[in-house]
Copies of this chain bind each other. A is one copy, B any other.
């Protein structure tokens, strides 16, 4: 963990245990440090699993491993390594993942394909198998721990621990959903340099869990960006142990399905926002809503064009109501837009309408809004019904310091 905590940090919430989930951490010492960097989670037999993974064309072997294992839909264990992403390491990287899965499967008396693996850290250095195995052996016999220890152990450049909790009512049972996540650079659509893990005691079918997670992902993790860069290791996995004993949900027609999906969406949104709040160098949390686009997809692409514009992000950092840069970002998105219909607001104050500044525009309320830690930008294209909201942070000297000094 870095020492300079993000000014947008929020306290780690109280997360209760989830039935069927046991958490452990250990020191594999992937880097020259004395902190826990290996997380080992065991899951009750019959646990369903779903996942969304990076769209990178150069994924890590962990991502490829998870993609194959997800087809079976069942999980018994999760291993997370911090400090080395093992990406772009050829056969040696693949061998490291296989070794981790094999050793864990042996200890758990399960199949290697029941073991999910994720790693984060430097690219291009094969994960050392000896350290991974020693770390695992320590983890197998470690005392179980709580959620915050896991959130801390999966972190790398994160400046605060990130977790979220919610519940849903299924029939006469209340099911719990807990999640932990790490950021915080290479955060872009199609996931992020982000490892997120969600655990619930709900009984749900893997296919339903996958559908619900994908739907939530589209409006949460895929709607955040820090720097427009997409990691080779992005992974969100959701595990459902069934310990709550509800009548299993197999489809959206089943009782409680909508409630569970809504809770999962809420949890994903909480986690996604935490990643943005720990964006490298962030001092402002920015919500960008585009309305009146020709489609939701078009609105999303325009919102992302604004969210990824260095000129918009630096203007917000400078608390500058430079709405011209928003116009620029709308214009460059390549999506249907008519300049003379465009309206723009900061917070609740309309600054431009019908393709030009509003008459008698008073910058004072906008300047006041921009001084806060939470900034809203609204764009209405007045073309159709398409709508999207995305979240990002500002671009500051802190981002440059972190990334121009970080050594590979």
Verify if A166 is at the interface (C-beta below 8 Å from B).
no
Given contacts A88-B327, A328-B186, A315 and B403 within 8 Å (CB-CB): yes
CB A1 to nearest CB in B, in angstroms, measures 20
Complex: how many Å from CA A279 to CA B137? Answer: 52
Asked if B57 and A311 sit within 8 Å, CB to CB, the answer is no
Asked if B406 and A318 sit within 8 Å, CB to CB, the answer is yes
Q: Which residues of B contact A397 (CB under 8 A)?
A: 397, 400-401
Partner of A404, one of B90, B315, B321, B406: B315
Asked if A58 and B404 sit within 8 Å, CB to CB, the answer is no
Asked if B328 and A57 sit within 8 Å, CB to CB, the answer is no
Query: A355-394: contact bitstring with B at CB < 8 Å (1 yes, 0 no)?
Result: 1110000000000000000000000000000000000000
- Chain A count of residues within 8 A CB distance of the other chain: 74
Verify if A309 is at the interface (C-beta below 8 Å from B).
yes
Verify if A329 is at the interface (C-beta below 8 Å from B).
yes
CB A226 to nearest CB in B, in angstroms, measures 9
CB A178 to nearest CB in B, in angstroms, measures 30
Asked if A88 and B356 sit within 8 Å, CB to CB, the answer is yes
Of the listed residues A54, A88, A321, the one surrounded by the most CB atoms of chain B closer than 10 A to its CB is A88
Asked if B333 and A57 sit within 8 Å, CB to CB, the answer is yes
A window 113-144: CB within 8 A of B? 122-126
Of the listed residues A122, A331, A397, the one surrounded by the most CB atoms of chain B closer than 10 A to its CB is A331
Q: Which residues of B contact A188 (CB under 8 A)?
A: 332
Verify if A339 is at the interface (C-beta below 8 Å from B).
yes
Partner of A400, one of B88, B314, B407: B314
Verify if A231 is at the interface (C-beta below 8 Å from B).
yes
Asked if B331 and A59 sit within 8 Å, CB to CB, the answer is yes
Asked if A88 and B352 sit within 8 Å, CB to CB, the answer is yes
**SS of A interface (majority):** loop
Complex: how many Å from CA A334 to CA B55? Answer: 8
A window 25-55: CB within 8 A of B? 54-55
CB A183 to nearest CB in B, in angstroms, measures 13
Complex: how many Å from CA A401 to CA B400? Answer: 11
Given contacts A327-B124, A332-B56, A339 and B403 within 8 Å (CB-CB): no
Given contacts A123-B327, A314-B400, A404-B317, A339 and B229 within 8 Å (CB-CB): no
Q: Which residues of B contact A400 (CB under 8 A)?
A: 314, 317, 395-397, 399-400
Asked if B404 and A310 sit within 8 Å, CB to CB, the answer is no
Complex: how many Å from CA A401 to CA B405? Answer: 18
Asked if B124 and A357 sit within 8 Å, CB to CB, the answer is yes
Chain B's closest residue to A401 (CB) is: B397
Asked if B320 and A404 sit within 8 Å, CB to CB, the answer is yes
Complex: how many Å from CA A54 to CA B331? Answer: 10
- What are 8 A-to-B residue pairs whose CB atoms are below 8 Å? A57-B330, A57-B333, A57-B336, A58-B337, A124-B356, A228-B310, A230-B332, A232-B328
Q: What 3 A-B pairs have minimum CB-CB distances, sorted nearest first? A: A123-B324, A58-B331, A56-B331
